[in-house]
Amino acid sequence: MSALLEVQDIHTYIGQFHILEGVSLAANEGEVTVMLGRNGAGKTTTLRSILGLTPPRSGSIRFAGKEIGGLPTYSVAQLGIGYVPEDRGIFTDLTVEENLKIAERAKGDLDRKADLVFGLFPDLKRLYRLKGGQLSGGQQQMLAMARALVPDNRLLLIDEPTKGLAPVIVEKVMETIHQLKETVTVLLVEQNFFVASDIGDRCYILDVGRTVHTGAMADLERDEALVQRYLGAVA
């Protein structure tokens, strides 16, 4: 299995603050790769660095064999990377339909992907004419993921999709990400260890801006000491 995304020792600064001090990770094609770590470990900044929103000062980011570090955000996205940010990034003033349409990279993308999108998220059909701001948190999360599926993306970067959602909806979101595996590669940031261990194939643990552990998700589940050390009392 080959790595679709390879991040090598990136260092990212925000203002004068050295946020990422050497993050390395890889996401294999067709897998769900999970990034774990405490608050402030640098998980979101890693996603933002990949997208060029906070460009790293050093290190390399390769996507599908091509160096993408230093490219403007829109060029990174055009290569086939979709982003589902922590705050979902729904345009509240646009309708659900417009929120999906704006993601089209080629004319007719939405029509072409209608079966996939509405197969995974049938509720969106019913909400089609509502404005993004009228949706509940769970519905916005669905819309954000659906939007990332409209263009031909090969990789989705999903940041804490279950945050602030009711347990029933968390289950639904996770089930959806599990189904996504058939279509795209996923790099997932998730705080909830139990949720992550359910759907993750490989995992990386970040701590104070560094990658401190790499391995199969299944192995991590058995390594209580490691989990305790970097993620706190979860087991």
Evaluate whether 174 touches 166 at the Cβ level (below 8 Å). no
Query: Rounded to the nearest whole angstrom, what is the least distance from the CB of residue 86 to another protein in the complex?
Result: 12
Q: Choose among 105, 118, 37, 34: nearest CA to 74.
A: 105
Does 70 bind another protein (CB under 8 A)? Our answer is: no
Options 36-44, 72-80, 186-194, 200-208: segment touching another protein (CB under 8 A): 72-80
Q: Quick one: which of 5, 7, 27, 103 contacts another protein (CB under 8 A)? A: 103
Q: Which is nearer to another protein, 2 or 75 (CB)?
A: 75
Q: Could you tell me which residues come within 8 angstroms of residue 162 by beta carbon, excluding any fewer than 6 positions away?
A: 169, 170, 173, 174, 190, 192, 195
Q: Which is nearer to another protein, 30 or 89 (CB)?
A: 89
Q: Quick one: which of 98, 123, 171, 201 contacts another protein (CB under 8 A)? A: 98
CA dihedral 195, 103, 146, 46 (to 10 degrees): 0
Q: Which is nearer to another protein, 12 or 197 (CB)?
A: 12
119-178 binders of another protein (CB under 8 A):
133, 147, 151
How far is 44 from 96, CA to CA, in rounded Å? 26
Options 8-16, 31-39, 85-93, 187-195: segment touching another protein (CB under 8 A): 85-93
Per-residue DSSP letter, 232 = -
Q: Quick one: which of 18, 57, 105, 126 contacts another protein (CB under 8 A)? A: 105
Q: Which is nearer to another protein, 48 or 172 (CB)?
A: 48
Q: Which H or E run contains 147?
A: helix 137-149
Does 189 bind another protein (CB under 8 A)? Our answer is: no
Q: Could you tell me which residues come within 8 angstroms of residue 12 by beta carbon, excluding any fewer than 6 positions away?
A: 19, 20, 42, 45, 46, 49, 54, 55, 56, 57
